[in-house]
Structure 1
Amino acid sequence: MRAARRVSIWLGDFSDEAALDDYLGDGFARDFGFEIDPPAGPEYDAGDERDVRTLLTGFSGWRGFVDAATEAARAVGVRRASAALVFYGFEYDPSLIRNERAPLRFVGVVPSARLAPSHDPAMIDVDGLIRERARQRFPSWEGHVPSTALAATRAVFDRLIGGLVALGPEALPARALGLFRAAVADLNRLDAAGPFIFTIERDDLCDDLCRLADLAGCGPLDDHLDDWRTW
């Protein structure tokens, strides 16, 4: 079902990304008739209910398909959702649907004017990421940023690096970028709970995220960060 410049999109009502992740690992194949290959897997997000355009904003290459996706969702009666699942370079066959009452709804296959990321293997530098995981992160923040916020930020980076390493050296960039997007969403939530990301912290975070993206084979990350971050 691989197809150049095609994006397959599902929308649903999951408000918790962990619950969506559990469903993708268990119930999705039963409901939609195919197994997700983790390295080639989709990008997804779950959170507060939003209109479809806002929900898809910030996905990789979203500007190239968001108009068509919003129209496709409207055509099947979906105007708002709290979860989105996007497969890049993929044309799903709706005849495979086995459960019309699944918690995700397939809304269609739409063309993409610009598929980002590339669907060549990312060639993740696993050894480089392992070295990054061993490095003490943001030591200059100590004494200036609340200790709980610093610890939580370090935990976000630990999860990100662990996820990238788990993907293996030949993961598709879409999957790697999904992990970066989730990490930035975690940082957004931390800062919203008690602002601590100001100019210096923002620059440090962007520098580290961009360095990790280069090691993950999915850089440059700058444009994506501008779309994703709220700090």
Structure 2
Amino acid sequence: MQFKPNFDLYREWKDSEQSKCFASNSAYIAVFKRDNKTLVYMCDDHTKNISFNMVDMCFADDFGIKPDVFLSEMENADYDRKFNWHGYEDNTLAYAVGVAAKQNVPVVFADLSKSQYVDVINRGFPDNQITEDDLCKVFGSGGPNSNGNIYQQMSAYVDKFGRDIFMLENIAAALNKYDTVFCIFGRGHFESQRLVLEDMMGKPEYITKIKNMRGDFSNVKINPIKLCDFKTK
């Protein structure tokens, strides 16, 4: 069978039932299985330590699922990307790409380029044309909301008619080519896309308990020693 997303099932993030179900979970994993196909969708919050743990957990040997390809919410643009020597970036999307590449997993950047952002928004808002310099106002608008201020409306529009379509098309293309697909997108994208994904793959199993992959210090008692006293001069 060929996987094809039904975009009529798309729901704006703020209206999605899923956003209420997992309101207390900043990051979680949805595992879809259908026939011989598996989709592991990392629902990311982009910032918190739990998301870095989620990435490490999914790529660890004991996770039990190995990806054939990895899709990330990163700009689909024609320029080289280089990572810091230590492999760590300040967001989980870039970090996850580094982990996948280090394991020789093919990587797909499945988000719009800045110019594509602008093209989609300007088609939807012919009386409020923007340039790439204005995108920071869209990104910093407080989240997509079709009933919010103009930049929130633009954010909701570009998600619905650009970003999420491109993400879902990439997921479908990956499932049509590979058996096991890993992806990481913001949890808001998943919550908007969920019904589309369930239509293709059936209902997923959720993993809401993310392992602490970087060490648990909750029971560690620290008794600092003093080497010298501070003296004013």
* Shared fold (TM-score, shorter chain, > 0.5): no
Per the normalisation by structure 2, the TM-score is 0.29
Larger radius of gyration: 2
Higher percent of residues as helix = 1
